[in-house]
Structure 1
C-alpha cells in the first residue's frame, strides 16, 4: 500500500491566458514553453521521485490528457475526473477521500498545480521529500514558499513568524504568521520589502486525515458532497480497480439539507455559490495548523499569466518553430507556422490558427479583468492591441468582443 501520493491539479480553465488558453484545451495542455505541455513537464518530474501520481481534472479533457501521458516516460497511477468544475477545495477533498479509502487515513498526500515552471527540477524533488517527511511525523499541513521576485497581484503571499525565520535556515520548515491571497500590486510591493514574506506556490502536503479534518471543520458542504460523490464513483468503477473514477452530480445529501439538481443552471448557481479555492475555503482559516517550507530564491514561475509565461520562457528553449533575436522581456507562441521576432521588447505575440494578437505586456492583465481586448482589426486574420486614451472610444470598445470586430 502506497503511503505517499501526489494529486496533480489539471482542471483549470486558464482564463488569464485567453485566447491562448480555451476551455476545450486549457493552458496546462498547451506547449507554451519548449516542446512539452506544463502537465507533461510536472508529471515527468514527479515520476523521477518515489511518489504515485493521481491526476485531478475535468472529464472533457480526459482524452487529451490520456494521449499526452501515453509515452513510456510519463506515467500516472489513478485519475479523478469531474463532470463539472467545482474549484480546488472540492477537488482536493475528493482526492483526500479517495486516498483515505484506498490507502488509509495516515497516507500522505501532496497537492501540486500543473501550471508551474521550475527552473531546477531537483529543487522541487528535494522539496517534496522534505515536506512529505515532515507530514508523516506531524499532523499539520505544509505549504511551499518561494522568495518573491517582483510585486504581483496574481500570487498569494505567506508571512513567516519573524523569530522562526531568524532561528531557522533556508530550506527549513517554519511557522506561519498569516496568509494574504492575491493583494493589489501596491500592497504586494510593500509586502516584498519584508524578508519574512514568500510567494505561496500552491503546493500543500499533509496526511489525508489532516486535510479532511480541516475541510470538514471549515467547509462542511465541500466535505460531505465530495465524500458522497467519491463513494458512488468508486462503487461504480470497482470492476476497473478504480484507476479512473468519474464524479457525477447526483442528488446530494448534506446534513439538514437535501438538494436535487435537475437543471444545469441550478447546478452552476449552487456550485459557484458554495465552493471556493482551497486557500480561501480552508488554508486561510486554519493557518495555526499550517507551516511553510522556505525554498528561498529559486527559479519558479506560475505560468497562468502572460507575465509568468514571459519570465519562464527566459529559462527554457523556445518552441521549435519560433526564433527570437535581440528581443527582451517578450513572449511568442505559434500554433503551426514559423514565427520570427527581431528587436522587440515587452510584447506578447500569439500566432493562432484563426487570429494573430500583438500586445504590450502591460495590457495583458486586461484579458482576465474584462474577457475582451481593445483591438484594432488589420485584416481578416490579424488584430492588434493599441493604447486607446479617448474615453468615448474606450467605452465603445468595452462593449465589443473579438467576434464583433
Structure 2
C-alpha cells in the first residue's frame, strides 16, 4: 500500500451545454440532483474521500456558493480555489499544484462523471498512485462499450501510452473498438504536484508562469481577474499529457460515463429503472402524463421555461441549440 499524501482535486468548471435545458449557467449539470437524489459533484466527493487525505475544489466564481453548499455536507476541511475567469484545465490543475507540497500526489477528477464498480475503481486508484509515486503522470483509460465519436482515445500497450487520438469519426471508432488496445480518455489523472508543474513549465512555460503569477497574488483562494486573463486557455491534454515522455495509463475496468450528452443520461437513467415506454421513449423533468406516438428512442426534456424533444442518437446536436441561444444572448441560458 502506497502511503503518500493524496489530495483529491475536484474540477467544477463547465456548464454542460449538451444537457441544456436541464443544465444552465446558474445550475450546471454537476449540481443537478438527478442521480439517486444526489448531484454528480456530491457523488464525486463521496467516492474519493477514503483514498484522499486532503481535498481541493477548483471552480469559477459562479459556482462558488453551490460547491460550498455541497461540501458542507461532508464536514471536512478543504481548500477552495475560485477562478475569476475559466482558463481551462491546465491552469486549474496548476493552481491546485501550487497549493500543494511538491511530493503530494494529486488525484484529479471532474465533478460531473458517473463511476460504478467500487473495488475496480479502488484498484485502479491504487495502481495510479503507485505509478505517480514513481514520478509518472498517470491517466485512466476506459474500456469502450461502443464505437463512441464523442471521446478522445488512448492507444496503449500494458501501462505504456503509444499515442493519444482526437475524437474519431464512426468508422475509425469501430476500428478502435475492434483492435482492443484503444481506450476512452477519461479526464481522470494522477501525479505528484511538483512533477506536473515541472512538465507544465517545460511544455507550456507561458501557462506555467502566468498561472504562478496569478497564484502568488491570490487572496483567500480567490484569483485575480486581470492577471488570470494573461493565462493561455489550454487543456491538460494538449499542454502536458500528449507531449510528456513520462506518461502511464491505467486501463480501468470500472463503469464510467461523463454524462456529456442526453444519450448517456438516457442510458444511465434506463439502467437505474427510469420509466420507459414500449418504443423506448423517456421523459425527464416532469411527472405529467406524456404519450409518444410513431416515434422510438426519443427523450422529452421538460423545464419550467423550455421543452425539448430529441432523438437519442442526435444528442450531440444539443450543443448547437445552446450555441444558437448564446449568439442571441438568450435568458434561457
- TM-score scaled by length of structure 1: 0.74
- Check whether the contact 1:29–1:39 (CA below 8 A) recurs between aligned residues: yes
Q: 1:141 aligns with which of 137, 142, 151?
A: 137
Q: What RMSD, in angstroms, separates the aligned Cα atoms of the two structures? A: 2.7
Q: 3-state SS of the aligned residue for 1:19? A: coil
Q: 2:287 aligns with which of 314, 328, 338?
A: 338
Offset at 1:185?
2.6
- Check whether the contact 1:156–1:181 (CA below 8 A) recurs between aligned residues: yes
Alignment correspondent of 1:123: 120
Say whether residues 1:276 and 2:234 are aligned partners. Answer: yes
In structure 2, stretches of 5+ residues that fail to align are: none
Between the aligned partners of 1:156 and 1:284, the Cα distance in structure 2 is 12
Alignment correspondent of 2:96: 95
- Check whether the contact 1:366–1:372 (CA below 8 A) recurs between aligned residues: no
- Check whether the contact 1:27–1:304 (CA below 8 A) recurs between aligned residues: no
Between the aligned partners of 2:331 and 2:190, the Cα distance in structure 1 is 44
Between the aligned partners of 1:354 and 1:310, the Cα distance in structure 2 is 21
Q: 3-state SS of the aligned residue for 2:68? A: helix
Offset at 1:69?
2.6
Alignment correspondent of 1:249: 225
Alignment correspondent of 1:61: 63
Say whether residues 1:189 and 2:208 are aligned partners. Answer: no
Between the aligned partners of 1:2 and 1:250, the Cα distance in structure 2 is 36
Alignment correspondent of 1:155: 151
Q: 1:295 aligns with which of 240, 252, 276?
A: 252
| Higher RCO, 1 vs 2 (CA within 8 Å, ≥6 residues apart) | 2
- Check whether the contact 1:83–1:249 (CA below 8 A) recurs between aligned residues: yes
Between the aligned partners of 1:191 and 1:300, the Cα distance in structure 2 is 18
Between the aligned partners of 1:311 and 1:251, the Cα distance in structure 2 is 42
Offset at 1:121?
3.3
Alignment correspondent of 2:311: 360
Between the aligned partners of 1:401 and 1:249, the Cα distance in structure 2 is 23
In structure 1, stretches of 5+ residues that fail to align are: 166-173, 238-244, 253-266, 375-398
- Check whether the contact 1:372–1:402 (CA below 8 A) recurs between aligned residues: no
Offset at 1:184?
2.4
- Check whether the contact 1:327–1:342 (CA below 8 A) recurs between aligned residues: no
Offset at 1:278?
0.8
Between the aligned partners of 2:62 and 2:330, the Cα distance in structure 1 is 25
Offset at 1:342?
6.6
Between the aligned partners of 1:246 and 1:53, the Cα distance in structure 2 is 17
Alignment correspondent of 2:73: 71
Offset at 1:231?
1.8
Between the aligned partners of 2:176 and 2:122, the Cα distance in structure 1 is 28
- TM-score scaled by length of structure 2: 0.89
Between the aligned partners of 2:119 and 2:144, the Cα distance in structure 1 is 20
